[in-house]
Chain A
Amino acid sequence: MEVTTKSMPYEAWKDNEYIEGLVKQLQESGTNVIVGSLDKLINWGRSNSIWPLTFATSCCGIEFVSLGAARFDMARFGWEVARSSPRQADFMMVAGTIVHRMVPVFRRLYDQLAEPKYVIACGSCAISGGPFRKSYHVAKGIEDIVPVDVFVPGCPPRPEAMIYGIMQLSRKIKVERFFGGVNRKEKQQEFLAQHPVEGVED
C-alpha cells in the first residue's frame, strides 16, 4: 500500500520506511472488512481535515502566518481553519521556543486538545532548544513534555517545509486504525503514563 497524496509521487517522500512500518503493523493485526472500509472512510476525512491550533511563541509563528498567506496558501489543503480554542483543533504546531515558564501552559494546552490529537515540533527550538539549548530557562526539546508526531527542522523552517511537515502528518493519519488499537494511541498512553500531571482536575 503506497500512502501518498494528490500530485505527489511516492518516491518524492522521505521517511517512507516509517510509514511502511505503520502499514505493516496495520496489516498484521488484521481487520474485518466492514470495519476496515469504515476506517478508510474516516481516515480519509481525518487526514484531509487537520485544523491547527493558533499557537506560536516566536519567529516560527511568523512563518506560520506566511503559510496562510496567498503565496503558500495552506487553505488549499483545508488547513486554514485555525481554531483559537484547543478543544476544536486537531493538531498543534509548536512554532517557537518553549521555556520553563511556558511548559505547564503548553502541556495544559495539549491536554485540552480533543482526541485524536497530534503535535508537530516546528523549528530547532521546539526540537532540541536550538540556539538557546544552553540557556537556563529553555526546555531542551518538547519531546519530554508531549508526544511528538512530526519534526520539522529549520530556524525557522521555510513555509514549504511546514507544508511538507503537515503533509507527512496527514500521511501518518491515513494509516492509523481508528477502531480498536490505534497504532499510535498505545504509544501516547504510554507516554502520558510516564509523564503524568498531578493536581490538574480537568
Chain B
Amino acid sequence: MANYIEKIQTLFPAATLESDRTPLFTIPGEQWHDMAVALRDNAELKFDYCVTVVGMDWTENLGAIYYLMSTSYNTVVGVKVLAKGDREKPWICSVEDVWHVAGLYEREVFDFFGIIFVGNNDMRRLFLNIDWVGYPLRKDYDENPDINPVSIENERQTDFTDVYSLDEKGELVKNERRIFEKDDFVVNIGPQHPATHGVLRFRTAVNGEEIKKIDIYLGYIHRGIEKLCESLTYPQTLHFMDRMDYFSAHNYHHALCMVIEKAAGIEISRRAQVIRVMMDELSRIASHCLFIGTYCMDLGATTMLFYTLRVREQILDIMEKTCGARMTFNYDCIGGVMQDLAPDFVADVKALLEVLPKNIKEYNEIFTGNVIAKNRMEGVGVLTREDAIAYGVTGPSGRASGWACDMRKLQPYSIYEELDFEEVTATEGDSMARFQCRMREMEESAKILAQLVDNIPEGEYCVKVPKMLKLPAGKWFQITEGCRGAFGIYLESDGSTKPFRIKLATPCLPQAAVVDHITRGQKIADLITIGGSLDYIVPDIDR
C-alpha cells in the first residue's frame, strides 16, 4: 500500500496526502488531467476503474473527489480537486477521456453543484429538467417551492447539449452540440414503458429495426436522498437505504451501518455480523430470483416469473418473521440489528436451501436450455472486459465480462473473508453470460448460507449506541457488494449529529449508461434483452 502512495507523491509533488484511511490526495486543478492520465497508465499504479465522483460544497469552495480503484493491484485512492472560478461559474478539467464513466458522474456533479467540467462532451443536467433553477446539493440552495414549482406542463426538450472549452485567455466558452443527427428517426422509449423496469427514458434513434444511438434520460424518480440525509441524524438516514435498490435493502443498510460504525469506532458482536451476512445473501437470492423472472418476462416467457416469485415469496416469509416487513425491512441498525432472529429462522433457511437447487434446476430446464432463449441471448450485447471497466459496470454484469469485481473478495468486509465461496465469472460478456452468472451466484449464496446456518453464534445482537450519535470530523469511504454491483458510500462528517455529506455511489447508474454502447447496431428487441440482462433498478440510478 505504501509504495503506490510514495509513487504518486514522487510523480506529483504538488499532491498533498490528506487522509490515509482511504488515501486521499489533494491536487491543484491545473495538474489534475495529467495526474489522471498518469494514474491510469503508470505501470505501478494502473487505476483503471473510476468508482465514483463525489461533488462537494465546502461552503467556501466547491470541488470534486474522484475515487479510483486499480483492478490489477486492488488498491483504492481518492483525489480531491478544487473548482476554479467563482460560485457562479466554477470549473474543473474533465477526465471523461481517461475514464469513460467519469463523464457521466461529472454530469451528475454538474447537475447537483453547478461545477462545469471543461472538455466533457455532454454538459446537460442529468437528473433535473433543463429549466430547474439552482443546484440542489449546494449548501446555500434555496428550497422554496415557489422557485421550482410542481408543474403539469410538459418539460422543455432540446436536441442540443453544451460542451465547454477554454479559450486562449482562460475564459470558459460554451458550444452547442447536436445529440442526434438531423434526419434520425427517434423513438421515445419510456418513461412509461413496460420494459424499462421503472421510469427510465431512452430516446432511441433507429434505422428500421436497428438501433443507431440511444440517449438516456434519468431523473423521473430522483428523490434527492443525498440532500435529505444532510438534514437527518445518522440513525435516521438509514431508512433511505431500503428505498433505493429495494432488492438489496439489507446490503445497503449493512454498508451504511458499517461506515457509520467505522467512523464512530463501534465494534459489533459476531452474532450481529453473521445475521447481517445471512440477510445479505438471502436478499441476493431473492433479488436474482426476481431478476430471472422479470428478464424472462421481458423476453416473452411470462410463466417463469411466477415460478421464480415462488422462491422469492419463501424468502420474504423468512424475512418477515424476523424483520416484520416484506420489503422495506429497516433491519440493520447502528451497532447491530434491530431485533433478534425469529425462533424458526434456522429451520426456515434450511427448508429454503433444500428447495433452492431443485428450483434452479427447473429454471434451467424451462428456460436456459430453450432454443429460442439461447438464440435471443447468446452473442447479444457483448461487453468486453475493458469496456466493462471503462464504463464502470460492476456486479454480475461486470463479472460476466470476465472482470472479477466482487467487492466481497476484493475489499472483504464483515465476515466474508472467512467464508468459502467462489467468485462467479464468465468470459463471453453477452446477455446469456450475465443471465447465467446470476443463476450461479444464487448457488454460491446458498453455499454461504449453508456454512452459516448452523454456526450462528450466541451473544447480543445489538450493542448499546447513543441515540444522538456524534461522529468525529473526517471523511470515510467504503465499497461493498450490493446485489447489482459495487456500492460505494462516501461519508463526510463535520463533528455534528448530522452528516455533512453522504454520497451514494450506486451500481445501477453506470449499468444504465452502458446501454447506449452495447446496443449500437443491434435490433430494438435486443434493447430489451440487453437492458433486462443488465438488471438496473431505476430508483437506484436516480436516488
**Do A and B bind?**
yes
| Residues of the B chain whose Cβ atoms lie less than 8 Å from the Cβ of A156 | 326-328
A99 touches B194 (CB 8 A): no
Q: Are B152 and A107 in contact (CB under 8 A)?
A: yes
**A100, B141: Cβ atoms under 8 Å?**
no
Choose one: B129, B219, B223; the contact of A97 (CB below 8 Å).
B223
Which residues in window 63-86 of A have CB below 8 A to B?
63, 65-66, 69-71, 84, 86
A144: interface (CB < 8 Å): yes
A104 touches B143 (CB 8 A): no
Contact A199 B191 (CB under 8 A): no
The answer to whether A101 has its CB under 8 Å from any CB of chain B is yes
| A31-39, A42-50, A127-135, A175-183: which lies at the interface | A127-135
Chain A contact residues: over half helix, strand or loop, or mixed?
loop
* CB-CB under 8 A for A105 and B220, given A55-B192, A63-B327: yes
Interface size class of B (residues with CB under 8 A): 35 or more
B221 touches A109 (CB 8 A): no
Closest to A145 in B: B152
A71 vs B306: C-alpha distance when bound (angstroms): 9
Cα A84 to Cα B150 with chains together (Å)? 26
Q: A155 contacts the other chain (Cβ, under 8 Å)?
A: yes
Docked Cα-Cα span, A62 to B245, in Å, equals: 11
Main secondary structure of the interface of B (DSSP, over half): loop
For window 268-318 of chain B, which residues contact chain A by CB distance below 8 Å? Answer: 290, 294, 305-306, 309-310, 313
- CB–CB B220/A137 < 8 A: no
B150 shortest CB reach to chain A, Å: 5
Task: Assess whether B224 is in contact with A131, with CB atoms less than 8 Å apart.
Answer: no
Whether B327 pairs with A134 at a CB distance below 8 angstroms is no
Are A58 and B191 neighbours in the complex by a CB distance under 8 Å?
A: no
CB distance from B26 to the nearest CB of A (A): 30
| Closest-CB distance, A64 to chain B (whole angstroms) | 11
Q: Is A108 an interface residue (CB 8 A)?
A: yes
Q: Choose from B127, B154, B219, B294 the contact partner of A199 (Cβ within 8 Å).
A: B154
Residue of B nearest to A69 (CB): B309
| Interface residue B468 (Cβ < 8 Å from any Cβ of A) | no
| Chain B positions within 8 Å of A138 at CB level | 223-224
Min distance, Cβ B352 to any Cβ of chain A, angstroms: 16
A186 within 8 A of B: no
Contact assessment for A101 and B155 in the assembled complex, using a CB-CB cutoff below 8 Å = yes
Give the A-binding residues of B (Cβ under 8 A).
Answer: 127-129, 136, 141, 143, 148, 150-155, 191-194, 198-199, 219-225, 227-228, 231, 239-240, 242-243, 246-247, 290, 294, 305-306, 309-310, 313, 326-328, 538-539
Task: Enumerate 23 A-B pairs (CB-CB under 8 Å) in ascending A order.
Answer: A54-B194, A57-B198, A58-B243, A58-B539, A59-B243, A59-B246, A61-B198, A62-B246, A62-B290, A71-B309, A84-B194, A86-B192, A96-B539, A100-B129, A100-B150, A101-B127, A102-B220, A104-B154, A135-B223, A135-B225, A136-B136, A145-B152, A156-B327
